[in-house]
Structure 1
Amino acid sequence: MVLLTMTPAIVATILKCQELDPESLIKFQLPSEPSLAEPEVGNPISHSQLIDISKLVKNHPGQINLSPHLDGLLRGSKIYTPPTEPKPEPTSEYKALMARLRKEEEARAYERMLSPVSSPKSSIRHYPTIANASLYSTAVDRTEDEDEVTYADVNRQIILIINVLISIVACSVFIWIAARHWSTPKRLGLSMAGSGVIAVAEVVIYGGYVRRVQEAKQREKKKPEIKSILESWVIDGASEKENISMKSPADKSDETLRHRKGKHR
């Protein structure tokens, strides 16, 4: 059901119909439609009620000096939008809760304003995650090192592939130019054979290089690792530097020791 707003013409027509034929106007009033008892500008009225009122005006042509046509009644009317419902009044429990929260927030703000600058111990007490931050630094550093190593390996592999391709292409072009007096099939076969030989040689050389690197790493891992404290710090005190060596006279020489390499922070 479409509801429209009453215009001054609709209000005047309804008032005139109430004077001439109130019984017919009462028949137009259905339970599901807006009331026409007290018409005012802006009140809702259904489209079917306007049609019935237009027909009623046509039945009294000389008694109502208004336009009996429906378009005359609809002129200036708009879609009726019901007013928004007022917000419900908050309950007493809600008001009491909000008042208590405001008082607590004011008390906390007053304490923060009066309290001195927090010390490191109090900061650690309020924020315990700060004390445990050092537990995660090693994992983060290790992840960064792994990312750098992975990037270096990928970069080295790409450069190696480019070098191999350049060597193969350069060798095939050189053989093709050098054998320019031969027939085309022979030049093509010789160039392809030379390129294949160069490719095999590059693969063999790289395989030997990788094998030697792996053997060197294995030999390095077999060497015993000795850790020593190079320097120590005392918080809230003078800096103390100590060189505490943990080697014993029976330890092996430096040539058989494995030294740890990495970033020093």
Structure 2
Amino acid sequence: MVLLITTPPILAAVEALPTSSRTDLALPDVLNLNDPISHAQLIQIARYFRAQTSNPDIAASRERSLDALLRGTKVYIPPPPKKPEPSPEYLALKARLLAAAETDAYNCMTSSSLTPFSTSSSKTPAPNSIFTSSTPTLSALHDKTNNLSDKGGEEDQLTPSLVLNIFLSVLITGFSVYWALSSFRTPEMLVDVVAGVWGGGGRGGGGKGVSEAVKVLVSLGVALGVGVTEVMIYAIYLRKIEVAKGRERRLKERKVVVGSERVGGTGGVGEGGERVGDDGEKEEIWGRGVNGGLRRRVRERWEEKERDLKTEIHD
């Protein structure tokens, strides 16, 4: 069904129709200019007025023919739908990206050691240039491999060197115990205990008091004990690291900028030595951890400038 735009001739023809005819033709009760009307309804209106040509009350029947009604009208194009409201997830992601961009811009101003793509690993393939960010914080947000950083799983703790170290410790310990039992005289008390438990073997010298099976069993037990001990020690070490990282994440520190430079600004120093900006407010930054890297770099740069200034004054 083709929809057309209502023109003044069409509107006049519809207003000339009686109420009963409007209901029969399925016309709306209220019709305005530029409202949609179907081509089939225009045909029915033209047929109605053509059938009423014998009625002397309708003098302008020719002006209400189908050709006259279609003159000047256009195909009705509905307006585009309204833009949907942004979802909360979109707004949250937008806020994160804006905050990351501001953080990177501030880091670039306060430190010259940050270089583009400095946080990317050499083992990680370079992403597409379309999705590559020149700032570390935005790169970390876009990098899906860093999603586990909040859980302390940014790297695999079980490395091949660790496995090889434990394996060599177990192997060397087992062979050392077996060599000691075979090369040295077994203590009399140990011979009695092992012989009583094993149910065989007698006393003798030169390590001959116990059988080969007992030597292998003792060596294997000592080696396994060393392996279990190393695994437990390493697990305790990883647990302490995880607890320390969690405590560091929960710690929030308020950081105050001790010195800054503003090109063309008129900021001064307020009470307590804090830097005051143009609007009269103290310039403050927020971060995590005690003696954060950003705070330390700002202070070091400020102290270096102070020393250079004093040196120039003395000279």
Asked whether the two chains share a fold, i.e. TM above 0.5, the reply is no
- TM-score if structure 2 supplies the norm length? 0.35
**Which structure has the greater CA radius of gyration?**
1
Q: Which one has a larger percent strand, Structure 1 or Structure 2? A: 2
- TM-score if structure 1 supplies the norm length? 0.41
